[in-house]
């Protein structure tokens, strides 16, 4: 075994459990192998395939995975092949002929091929010594990635009753394990469970607010590293990849809706390091063999802990430290709930709600994320701090949460233990929700008694009360809150409680914050200059620049107009008015202290990116403007209201698009009257101008004129 290991795979020793698993297979026993991605699952069937006399049949769900595995095996001098829909009938016939002659040791096939009678006949004519079923959790309806084609695998037991079966997966709860064993008839076999802990991975959850700005910052820190970014929908992947390319990153999309050739090319470019970033739906990456992925980012909320764990498992398969970052917002959870409600099968829908609930619980944790992941898979992790998640690296600050906890629990009681979290929180916040008024809950003493926490904050605090067994939740699709017996005691005894302050545990600073390492001496010089300029103009200092702008100047030392313009609060006017004066101070200070200018990262708004994105609705309107079409004709051609078309024009202009719309300008006399009315109103709002001009002018005319004023 060790000789084969060294000769074909280049290793001097086995990883944990590999040797025991291989000995078990060699003794003709069935096995179920649970091993995390990167733990060496493939070797568990590839090495015994060399020891056994016949052929090892490997059932694998993805064509790309088969190709990667076969290429790697051939490179190691192991005769291997795959049969799937990407091959012609002639190519399949040639591979089967080689198998008949014993020229192939490992043959990969997709599960759906087992349903074909001709493939069954082929298998019965050759010696199959081992059947390996990769991603075996796909056979379980309790799993996160159930595939009906996997049910075909029961046929293998009928065709090869004496052949040992090895089922392999990186993610399976106890319920899923039992289902795999039952479905594949592995009751007499042995189960091997490796630790699910991936110590080289760090886990972070960040708020969705300014997700794109945070994403650029993270990718900027890993500019030469490979990264996978998971998105909710196909459209999201294409849009985000386009945005990242516009910001100078090599990024491509990957989803099931792309032409197979484009999908294959994109994956190939990523694997070959021709592009650093792949933006994908969950269609990407099952069993991906790229070992040096340094970043796995979930731009949207995953559907389940199993899916999340498997996807993060694609990071750092070479054992080198890698980061797993998830952007979370409650809006993402609500979007997932909407799609779950469309599931017709009641049990499946209930299961999906339960899995989503667990995913939300993970995101809103105030305790170790690694501990939660491992306990989800039944593993007892006893370390006090994992040292590799945002909670452990930056513990959230605690506060006296006694009063707010009492308010939340009282609202649950006052509303009769009959409502879900959203409704209870709406009551506390004094929402004008008509359902509240229909039930007269605006008359309750708890109505509107919270004004010092946002709804998201309250949601996280409620989650903490659930985790401490002071509240409980029942039901799947419409879960209802209730105060537990322990919670009632807490209220009666007037106990005190300290909870993590919502939003206090973060690895990265808010989007506009500046690190504490800005140069304080320079900051003071800039502050003095600001005061002098403000005094000379008779205005408060913050009118010149806010403290945030000065801190950024003292951190980045901008000495060019391009860089200085990226400072928070620097527009064209302030750049023109103050830029030169401030840059002179910065440049003198930098030279004296031998400091270098740093490039300030560009932050673009979502609106600007949407407007400039090729093929967007705004660009369609721009194309018609280039043809000098009237507003009425553009609206008719696009099937939109004239007001919507005007909104497109305003956003295109605000995004700096080059627009030739002079032909839309009102006639000179009308334009002069509108311009005078805007001057008289002293602002840019339309209603005061309309009041001045009366009914002789439409709002559309005013909006068009405003673009030229």
Helix axes 642-654, 617-626, angle to 10 degrees: 90
Domain closes at, from 150, 169, 193: 193
In the chain the first and final C-alpha atoms are separated, in Å, by: 81
Helical ranges in 593-698 per DSSP H: 606-612, 617-626, 631-638, 642-654, 668-681, 686-693
Report which DSSP code applies to 328.
E
- Decide if 654 is inside a domain: no
Residue 356 CA to residue 305 CA, distance in Å, equals: 8
3 state DSSP class of 381: coil
Task: Return the ∠ at Cα 570 (arms to 569 and 573), rounded to 5°.
Answer: 125
Q: Which long-range contacts (CB under 8 A, 24 or more apart) does 486-491 make?
A: 487/409, 490/405, 490/409, 491/406, 491/409, 491/410
Q: For residue 479, give the CATH number of its domain.
A: 1.10.10.10
Residue 112 CA to residue 147 CA, distance in Å, equals: 10
* 249 C-beta neighbours (distance < 10 Å), count: 19
Residue 193 CA to residue 182 CA, distance in Å, equals: 17
Burial status of residue 637 (CB atoms within 10 A of its CB: 0-12, 13-18, 19 or more): middle
Residue 155 CA to residue 141 CA, distance in Å, equals: 18
3 state DSSP class of 107: strand
Q: What are phi and psi of 435, to 5 degrees?
A: -60, -35
- Decide if 247 is inside a domain: yes
Q: Are 275 and 250 in contact (CB under 8 A)?
A: yes
Q: What is the pTM for the complete model shown?
A: 0.60
Report which DSSP code applies to 37.
T
Same domain, 181 and 57: yes
- Decide if 621 is inside a domain: no
Over the chain (709 residues), what is each successive 10-residue block's mean pLDDT? Answer: 78 82 91 84 92 92 75 81 90 93 93 88 91 87 73 84 90 82 87 88 90 91 88 92 93 89 85 87 63 90 89 83 91 85 85 89 88 87 84 84 94 92 92 91 92 86 88 80 93 90 51 58 90 80 75 89 80 81 93 87 53 67 87 82 82 78 89 89 77 84 87
From residue 462, give the alpha-carbon distance in Å to each of 401, 411, 455, 500, 683: 11, 11, 10, 12, 45
* 582 C-beta neighbours (distance < 10 Å), count: 26
Residue 212 parent element (H or E): helix 211-221
Same domain, 380 and 449: no
Q: Which residue in 149, 95, 150 sits closest to 122, CA to CA?
A: 95
Q: For residue 376, give the CATH number of its domain.
A: 3.40.50.300
pLDDT of residue 412: 94
Same domain, 387 and 408: no
Residue 414 parent element (H or E): helix 402-414
Residue 361 CA to residue 503 CA, distance in Å, equals: 15
- Decide if 646 is inside a domain: no
Same domain, 387 and 260: yes
- Decide if 229 is inside a domain: yes
Same domain, 17 and 84: yes
Residue 83 parent element (H or E): strand 80-83
**Cα–chain-centroid distance for residue 333?**
12
- Decide if 22 is inside a domain: yes
3 state DSSP class of 551: helix
Q: Which residue in 627, 621, 698, 682 sits closest to 653, CA to CA?
A: 621
Same domain, 185 and 256: no
- Counting the structural domains of the chain, the total is 5
* 76 C-beta neighbours (distance < 10 Å), count: 13
* 175 C-beta neighbours (distance < 10 Å), count: 10
Q: For the chain, how big is the Rg over CA atoms in Å?
A: 31
Q: Are 78 and 152 in contact (CB under 8 A)?
A: no
Report which DSSP code applies to 125.
T
Same domain, 187 and 217: no
| Sequence-separated (6 or more) residues with CB below 8 Å from residue 653 | 659, 707
Domain closes at, from 496, 528, 555: 496
3 state DSSP class of 227: strand
As given in the structure block, the two tokens for residue 655 are: 């995004």
Residue 54 CA to residue 598 CA, distance in Å, equals: 63
Give me the half-sphere count of Cα atoms (radius 13 Å) on the Cβ side of residue 288.
Answer: 29
Same domain, 491 and 579: no
| Sequence-separated (6 or more) residues with CB below 8 Å from residue 471 | 408, 409, 412, 462, 465, 481, 482, 483, 484, 487
Cα-Cα-Cα-Cα torsion 358, 359, 360, 363, nearest 10 degrees, comes to: 120
Q: Which long-range contacts (CB under 8 A, 24 or more apart) does 513-522 make?
A: 514/548, 514/551, 514/552, 514/555, 515/555, 517/555, 518/551, 518/552, 518/554, 518/555, 519/554, 519/555, 519/557, 519/589, 519/595, 520/554, 521/589, 522/553, 522/554, 522/557, 522/585, 522/586, 522/589
Residue 429 CA to residue 72 CA, distance in Å, equals: 59
Report which DSSP code applies to 84.
S
Q: Which residue in 90, 114, 94 sits closest to 104, CA to CA?
A: 94
Same domain, 54 and 139: yes
List the domain range (segments joined by +) for residue 455: 402-496
Residue 343 CA to residue 126 CA, distance in Å, equals: 42
Q: For residue 585, give the CATH number of its domain.
A: 1.10.150.80
Same domain, 375 and 420: no
Same domain, 42 and 140: yes
What is the full DSSP assignment across 228-296?
EEE-SSHHHHHHHHHHHHHTT--EEEE-TTS-HHHHHHHHHHHHTTSSSEEEE-TTS-TT---TTEEEE
Domain closes at, from 552, 576, 592: 592
3 state DSSP class of 500: strand
**Cα–chain-centroid distance for residue 532?**
47
Same domain, 458 and 408: yes
- Biggest distance spanned by C-alpha atoms of the chain: 96
- Decide if 76 is inside a domain: yes
- Decide if 634 is inside a domain: no
């Amino acid at each position: 075994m060790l000789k084969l290991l060294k000769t074909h795979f280049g290793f001097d020793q086995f990883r944990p459990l590999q040797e025991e698993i291989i000995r078990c297979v060699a003794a003709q026993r069935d096995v179920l192998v649970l091993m995390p991605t990167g733990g060496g699952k493939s070797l568990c069937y590839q090495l015994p395939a060399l020891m056994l006399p016949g052929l090892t049949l490997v059932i694998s769900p993805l064509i790309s995975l088969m190709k990667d595995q076969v290429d790697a095996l051939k490179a190691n001098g192991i005769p291997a092949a795959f049969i799937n829909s990407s091959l012609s009938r002639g190519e399949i016939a040639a591979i089967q002929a080689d198998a008949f002659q014993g020229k192939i040791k490992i043959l990969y096939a997709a599960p759906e091929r087992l349903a074909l009678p001709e493939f069954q006949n082929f298998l019965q004519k050759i010696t199959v010594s081992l059947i390996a079923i990769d991603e075996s959790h796909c056979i379980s309806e309790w799993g996160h990635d159930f595939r009906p084609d996997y049910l075909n695998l029961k046929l293998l037991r009928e065709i090869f009753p004496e052949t040992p079966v090895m089922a392999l997966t990186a993610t399976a709860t106890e319920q899923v394990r039992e289902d795999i064993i039952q479905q594949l008839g592995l009751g007499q076999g042995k189960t091997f469970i490796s630790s699910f802990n991936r110590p080289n991975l760090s886990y972070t959850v960040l708020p969705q607010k300014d997700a794109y700005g945070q994403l650029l910052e993270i990718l900027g820190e890993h500019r030469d590293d490979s990264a996978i970014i998971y998105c909710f929908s196909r459209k999201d992947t294409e849009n985000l990849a386009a945005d990242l390319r516009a910001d100078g990153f090599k990024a491509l999309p990957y989803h099931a809706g792309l032409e197979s050739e484009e999908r294959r090319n994109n994956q190939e470019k990523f694997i070959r390091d021709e592009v650093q970033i792949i933006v994908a739906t969950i269609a990407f990456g099952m069993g991906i063999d790229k070992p040096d992925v340094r970043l796995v980012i979930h731009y949207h909320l995953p559907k389940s802990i199993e899916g999340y764990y498997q996807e993060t498992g694609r990071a750092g398969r070479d054992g080198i430290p890698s980061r797993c970052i998830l952007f979370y917002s409650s809006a993402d959870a609500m979007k997932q709930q909407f799609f779950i409600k469309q599931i017709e099968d009641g049990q499946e829908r209930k299961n999906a709600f339960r899995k989503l609930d667990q995913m939300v619980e993970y995101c809103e944790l105030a305790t170790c994320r690694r501990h939660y992941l491992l306990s989800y898979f039944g593993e007892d992790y006893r370390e006090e701090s994992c040292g590799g998640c945002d909670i452990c690296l930056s513990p959230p600050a605690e506060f006296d949460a006694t009063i707010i906890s009492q308010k939340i629990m009282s609202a649950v009681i006052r509303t009769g233990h009959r409502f879900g979290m959203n409704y209870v929180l709406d009551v506390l916040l004094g929402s004008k929700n008509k359902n509240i008024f229909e039930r007269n809950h605006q008359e309750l003493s708890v109505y509107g008694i919270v004004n010092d926490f946002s709804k998201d904050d309250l949601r996280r605090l409620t989650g903490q009360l659930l985790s401490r067994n002071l509240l409980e939740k029942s039901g799947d699709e419409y879960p209802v809150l209730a105060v537990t017996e322990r919670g009632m005691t807490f209220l009666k005894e007037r106990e005190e409680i300290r909870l993590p302050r919502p939003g206090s545990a973060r690895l990265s600073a808010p989007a506009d914050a500046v690190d504490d390492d800005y140069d304080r001496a320079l900051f003071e010089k800039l502050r003095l200059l600001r005061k002098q300029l403000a005094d000379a103009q008779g205005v408060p200092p913050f009118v010149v620049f806010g403290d945030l702008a000065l801190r950024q100047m003292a951190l980045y030392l901008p000495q060019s107009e391009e860089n200085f313009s990226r400072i928070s609060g620097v527009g064209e006017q302030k750049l023109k008015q103050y830029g030169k004066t401030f840059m002179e101070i910065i440049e003198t200070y930098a030279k004296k202290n031998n400091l270098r200018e740093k490039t300030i990262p560009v932050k673009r708004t979502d609106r600007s990116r949407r407007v400039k994105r090729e093929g967007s609705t705004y660009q369609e309107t721009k194309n018609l403007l280039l043809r000098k079409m009237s507003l009425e004709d553009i609206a008719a051609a696009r099937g939109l209201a004239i007001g919507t078309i005007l909104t497109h024009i305003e956003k295109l202009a605000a995004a700096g698009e080059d627009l030739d719309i002079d032909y839309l300008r009102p006639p000179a006399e009308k334009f002069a009257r509108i311009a005078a009315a805007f001057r008289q109103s002293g602002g840019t709002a339309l209603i005061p101008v309309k009041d001045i001009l009366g009914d002789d002018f439409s709002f559309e005319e005013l909006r068009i004129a405003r673009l030229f004023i």
